[in-house]
Amino acid sequence: DGGITQSPKYLFRKEGQNVTLSCEQNLNHDAMYWYRQDPGQGLRLIYYSQIVNDFQKGDIAEGYSVSREKKESFPLTVTSAQKNPTAFYLCASSPSLSGANVLTFGAGSRLTVL
Amino acid sequence: SQQGEEDPQALSIQEGENATMNCSYKTSINNLQWYRQNSGRGLVHLILIRSNEREKHSGRLRVTLDTSKKSSSLLITASRAADTASYFCATEDGGTSYGKLTFGQGTILTVHP
């Protein structure tokens, strides 16, 4: 089955620790995205990537970092600089960053800072 | 930045009734999309309507777009308990944000059996 796999589903972190969320897709999509979702709010874009070895900041990139070394993979690191990291993180992909851009989402990773 | 604002924030109906959710946005768009999210899960794409379209149907879903009022509505007819979920509108902006989607805050729909 083609799709997006996010891991882990649940993650607990102590303050001051970096954590990395995994996102893998087998859809052969060029574009990948990371969104953050807080309770009662919509999705906010953290980072996105159109092609391998290239990525751009979204609306709330501070305290996060990404890499795109392979087309299939777009891991997100939540650094200790992120002041309020507890949230639901969603990875998505699309064929390309072009008009009529329909996103396919993973099941999400829930990060809790203890 | 949030582009779409949805109304109502929550909607509770009985099975068989119709559910209508509204989305307003601020800037010009290339298209508007609706997504569904079951609790604690990822989003699933439902339907896309382009800026030059006024109405679109997909099964029990009907979407309208009024670019003069910068608003869209999603109608789910003959609702079922399985339709219980959060529904989000997302706008694809033009210009330098080409291709990027901006999501609204969502409407929580509860359908009672």
Give tens-digit pLDDT for A17-41.
999 999 999 999 999 999 999 987 8
Q: Do B92 and A101 touch (CB under 8 A)?
A: yes
Q: Do A101 and B103 touch (CB under 8 A)?
A: no
Classify residue A107 as exposed, middle or buried by CB count within 10 Å of its CB (0-12, 13-18, 19+).
middle
Least confident piece of the model among B27-31, B87-91, B93-97: B93-97
Q: Do A97 and B106 touch (CB under 8 A)?
A: no
Q: Which of residues 80-109 of B touch A (CB under 8 A)?
A: 88, 92, 98-106
| Chain B CA closest to residue A98 | B99
Say yes or no to pLDDT of A65 above 50.
Answer: yes
A45 CB neighbours in chain B (<8 A) are 100-102
- Which pLDDT score is estimated for A41? 81
Tokens of A33: 């995205």
Give tens-digit pLDDT for A93-111.
999 777 778 999 999 999 9
Min Cα distance B12 → chain A (Å) is 16
From residue A52, alpha-carbon distances to A49, A65, A70, A77, A92 in Å are 7, 15, 6, 17, 15
Give tens-digit pLDDT for B40-63.
899 999 999 999 999 999 999 999
Say yes or no to pLDDT of B99 above 90.
Answer: no
Rounded Cα distance, B46 and B113, in Å: 23
Q: Which of residues 16-75 of A touch B (CB under 8 A)?
A: 31, 35, 40-45, 48, 58-59
B94 CB neighbours in chain A (<8 A) are none
Say yes or no to pLDDT of B1 above 80.
Answer: no
Tokens of A53: 């070895």
